Amino acid sequence: MKIVLATGNRGKISEIRRILSDIEVQVLTFEDFDSFPDPEETGSSFLANSLIKAKAVSEATGLPALADDSGLEVDWLNGGPGIMSARYGGEGLDDRRRYLRLLEEMEGVPEHKRGARFRCVMTFYPAPAVEILPQPPGAEADEIAELLGDDEKALVTEGFLYGRVAEEPAGEGGFGYDPVFYIPEEGKTAAQLRLEEKNRISHRYRALVEMKRLIRRYCLSAQDTQGSSL
């Protein structure tokens, strides 16, 4: 089965290909097409935005598409920056200026109130079945129902990495908010982890491992059934 990744991020592409390498899928990317959509993320949630991207790429390529949307949710900021993580502080800021802005917002906040989590929502569209893990709350479910339509189906998973906002940046690796995201179990920020260590525990890894299970369960089994009936 061929699928296409709804991302231009080469790091994501490499990670997803590696994790899906032991199932019978051929993973295509933007490099395999003459034109590739870059849809505007107008959803009000990670789930909605990941579905918007998956649908746009699937409809443009004629293939099932896998998309994700992710960001940082900080307890002190009532879940912010959330879906605005990549635009936090305004347009034109680089990663460093964004995480420094976050540290300014969190100045003086005690350690026990600095809880945060990275969240990733992953969507595979279209699919032979609808499975959304976990089920979204009411308003979000209504938005997804509008995006999917009556006869459309998708698989959705999510993954989390829990930690807290550090008081100062540390580490040279990773990207985004990694230098200020401290993981107590590791005793390091995400930017201090080796790439293989980070990939093993990341929110994206956890969402993708569950997605692989659903693809194998629904899509590959459906393909086998169709093939045996010919």
Give the residue numbers annotated as catalytic, written as ranges. 69
Strand 155-165 to strand 131-132: parallel, antiparallel, or no bridges (unpaired)?
Answer: parallel
Angle between helices 46-61 and 138-148 (to 10 degrees): 10
SS3 (DSSP) at 115: strand
SS3 (DSSP) at 33: coil
Could you tell me which residues come within 8 angstroms of residue 162 by beta carbon, excluding any fewer than 6 positions away? 115, 116, 117, 183
Q: Distance (Å, rounded) from C-alpha 77 to C-alpha 146?
A: 29
Residue with tokens 């169709």: 226
Tell me the sheet residues that pair with 3: 27
SS3 (DSSP) at 178: helix
**Neighbour tally for 146: CB within 10 Å:** 9
